[in-house]
Amino acid sequence: MKRPKFLRPSNIRGTIFLVIALVIGIIFALPFIYMISTSLKGQSELFTRPATFFPTKGYYFQAYLDVWSKGKFDQYFMNSVVVSSASTLVSVVIAILAGLGFARYKLPNKLLLSILVSQLFPLVLLVPPFFVVFRQMGLYDTHAALIISYVSFALPYSVWMLTGYFRSIPIDLEEAAQVDGATRLGAYLRITLPLATPGIAATIVYCFILAWNEFLFAFTFISNPSLRTLPVGLQMFIGQYGVEWNLLMAGAVVTTIPVVVLFVILQRYLVAGLTAGAVKG
C-alpha cells in the first residue's frame, strides 16, 4: 500500500513543522475568528450556557444591520474617514518634503535623530496640554483637534519612512535627468517621486491605519456623540447597550475590514518598511 504523500519519510519533517506551525497560527487567529463567529450569533444564543465557539442555533446577520441603524455606525465611519484622511494628507505632504531634504541634502544627523526620538514619546503625556490648549483655542470637541493631534504621531513616522525610501532610490537617475536639462525640482517630480510611489503609498496607508485605530485622543478631545470616531463609538457601545456582544462584535468587524483590506493590498511594502525598525503598534 502506498503511503499518503505527507507521511513519506522525506516529507515527515515538513509535515511535523506544518502541524506545529498551524496550531500556533490558529491559536493566534482564534480571537479574530471568535469575533466574527460572535457577530453572527443570534441575541438569544449569546447568553446560553455552555458557551460555544461557533453559532449552534443558526447564523444571523441582523447585528450588521443593527450597528448601522441603532449604533450610528454610519456616522462614526464617516467621522473616522474624515479625520484619518485629513491627518494623513497633512502628515504625508509635509513628510515628502522633509524626506527629500534628508535623503538628498547633507543635513546634520542630529536633526534626523530628533525625528526618531519624537517617535518614542509617550503620547498620553500630550493629553493634558492638548486638552488645555484646544479648549483655549475653541478646538475642543471638533475634528480639527483630532487632525492636529494625530499629526504628532503620523508625521515623525512618515518622515522616517519616506527618508528611508528616498535614500533607496539611486541619485544617479536624478543626475542623469539634470544632465538632460531637467531642473532639480523637475527631476524630483519626474524621477524620484514616481519611483517612490510604492513607498509613499505604504506610508499613506500606514498613517491612515494608525489614525483609524487611534483611541486615546479621540476619546478625550471629543464629547459630542455625533463627532465620535469608530474606536470610541465601539467602546461606548459597552456602556450604552449593556452587553449586546453580537452587536459589538459586528461593529468590531466593520471597524477592522478597511484596515485588513488596505493591509492585504500593500502587505509586501508595509511589512518590509515596518520591520526595518520604524514602529511597532
Residues between 1 and 60 that touch other proteins (CB under 8 A): 13-15, 17-18, 20-22, 24-26, 28-29, 31-32, 34-35, 38, 46-47, 49-53
Residue number, 95 or 222, with CB nearest to other proteins: 95
By the 8 A CB rule, do 214 and 149 touch? no
Binding mask 97-136 for other proteins (x = CB under 8 A): xx-xxx-xxxx-x-xxxxxxxx-xxxxxxxxxxxxxx---
Report yes or no: 196 and 207 within 8 Å, Cβ to Cβ.
Answer: no
Would you state the torsion angle of the CA atoms of residues 161, 164, 170, 175, taken in this order, to the nearest 10 degrees? 80
Residue 28, helix vs strand vs coil: helix
Residue 155 binds other proteins, judged by CB under 8 A: yes
Nearer to other proteins, 1 or 31 (CB): 31
167 forms part of the interface with other proteins (CB under 8 A): yes
> Which of 208, 231, 250, 269: binder of other proteins (CB under 8 A)?
231
CA distances from 106 to 94, 112, 126 (A): 19, 11, 32
Nearer Cβ to other proteins (48/197): 48
With CA atoms as reference, report the closest residue to 148 among 131, 125, 163: 131
Out of 215, 223, 225, 268, which residue is the one contacting other proteins (CB under 8 A)? 215
- Compute how many other C-beta atoms are within 10 angstroms of the C-beta atom of residue 205: 18
User: Looking at 59-67, 171-179, 194-202, 245-253, which segment touches other proteins (CB under 8 A)?
Assistant: 245-253
Task: Give the residue with the Cβ less far from other proteins, 14 or 194.
Answer: 14
Counting beta carbons within 10 angstroms of the beta carbon of residue 94, is it exposed (0 to 12), middle (13 to 18) or buried (19 or more)?
Answer: middle
